[in-house]
Amino acid sequence: MKRDTVGKRLLSLTVNERTQQHAVADNALLLDVLRETLGLTGTKQGCDGGECGACTVLVDSQPQLACITLAASCEGRHIETIEHLSTHGRMSRLQQAFHEKLGTQCGFCTPGMIMAAEALLRRQSNPSEAQIREALAGNLCRCTGYVKIIESVQSAAGAGR
């Protein structure tokens, strides 16, 4: 693929409630735009495309893998990254729970894991363990064995909104 032959266009992207225009290649991936253009490095890359879930962000509250999403496909939609969850100096209940319950060890899968869990809690405020497992099945963690991740999500759900 020769990048210099790919067209660019001015894309209006709404990321974490902030709408900005960026000159973005037609084939640019959302992950690269978030990390490289916007400097939002909280979203991680852990694989060669769609394997690990570390890059999970929310697009209109739906979990989506930024590494296999074209930035151009997100125009007019609201993108949320991990940086959006803690505003006004307060962590979200999921962030608080992942921290206190040790749902994070090395932390590399954590942003994606929390975003996938956030999407779950938005549509199901009190999920069953089976629902948690289903919702996070696309997010690999190599540290925790997932036990404390499940406890973290349950704790956050129990804390209510």
Rounded CA Rg of the chain? 16
Helix H or strand E encompassing 56: strand 56-59
Smallest gap from Cβ 109 to other proteins, in A, equals 5
Of positions 58, 85, 119, 121, contacts other proteins by CB under 8 A: 85
13 or 93: CB nearest other proteins: 93
Of positions 30, 79, 80, 98, contacts other proteins by CB under 8 A: 98
Closest-CA residue to 32 (of 79, 61, 68): 68
Smallest gap from Cβ 21 to other proteins, in A, equals 22
Contact flag: residue 121 with other proteins (CB under 8 A): no
N-terminal to C-terminal alpha carbon distance within the chain: 46
With 0-12 / 13-18 / 19 or more C-beta atoms within 10 angstroms meaning exposed / middle / buried, residue 94 is: buried
Where does this chain bind other proteins (CB under 8 A)? Answer: 2-4, 35, 39-48, 51-52, 54, 81-83, 85-86, 91, 94-96, 98-100, 102-111, 114, 129, 132-134, 136-151, 154
